[in-house]
Amino acid sequence: MEVLGTFDEPWAMAILPGKEGILITERAGKVRWWTPTGVLNLEIGVPQVDYGGQGGLGDIAIAPDYATTHDIYLSWVEAGPDNTRGAVVARMHFDYGVFIYFAAPKTIWRQTPKVTGRGHFSHRIAFSPDGKYLYIASGERQKFTPAQDLTNNLGKIVRLNLDGTPATGNPFADKGGTSAEIWSYGHRNILGLQFDAQGRLWDLEHGPAGGDELNLVKPGQNYGWPLVSDGDHYSGEKIPRHSTRPDLAAPAISWNPVIAPGDFIFYSGKMWPEWKGQALIAGLGSAGLVRVRIDGEKAVEEARYPLGNRIRAIREAPDGSLYVLEDGKGGRLLRLSRK
């Protein structure tokens, strides 16, 4: 384990191509650029965020056409009228020349509608393996029922073109409006969104008191929240289990007690060949990494690796080592490698 730097409430990171370093978001509203020679603060053009609770600056992702455009995608929480707020995603230009800055962001997607509260924004970003489509995880904002309502995008995964318009072929395109964005629904609070080597989309989401889930995401499917869960409400009120509703998509694996996941990757096997194709999960509640083997459309937990702190994010370096971000004030960027 090598300590590379320290950050304040880091939430996400994106590895720049070549030897350009890592972009890291801090929830209060800063983007920092780690390089082997030091850490720079990027402030010009970084958006004003609504910070508090689970809200603030969120995910950061390298555009599929970065080699020619030098564009990145960024998500954050913005304020609305009457104490409401919601997540947004923007595409912007990153110039690392003499003047280091983000160009003025162009917002291409918003959570609809904005609602009160400061929880369950999700706002994770993923791109299809062919680089043609943008997927965004949209949490149900602790409002429960919107996850089952196809007229809004809360509690959904949306599938968009790279400019933020609804992609052709989405399952509810015929309904028009916001419904045309939706890829899947019935989600709670998604904090991981990744494609595996087979090109299949998976999500990782927080359950209530129990019931964290890893899901194989298929178009048009209903993942059940708040109708079913493998956990219960924090009040102790029971929720029907997934097994009671075979018409709804069940998780590939669920956890009770929870691991409180932060993010995950599918590992290439470069440095640990025996882990090839497995999911490596950043654990907040489990304070370490959780390794999960994929078995068809199901999953099996293989091992846990305690790191002594809540882990917010994980990414694989080009050589197969792992970059890991701790959560909270003073969260460290760690590099894990094999001896």
Active site positions, annotated: 120
- 201 by DSSP, 3-state: which? strand
**How many whole angstroms separate alpha carbon 46 and alpha carbon 29?**
8
**How many whole angstroms separate alpha carbon 7 and alpha carbon 100?**
19
Distances (CA, A) of 63 to 30, 33, 68, 195, 320: 20, 17, 10, 15, 21
Q: What is the DSSP letter of 179?
A: G
Distances (CA, A) of 285 to 190, 229, 268, 307: 15, 19, 25, 12
Task: Tell me, rounded to whole angstroms, the distance of Cα 108 from its chain centroid.
Answer: 17
Residue 208: CB atoms within 10 A of its CB come to 20
**How many whole angstroms separate alpha carbon 232 and alpha carbon 259?**
15
Tokens 């990027």: give the residue: 42
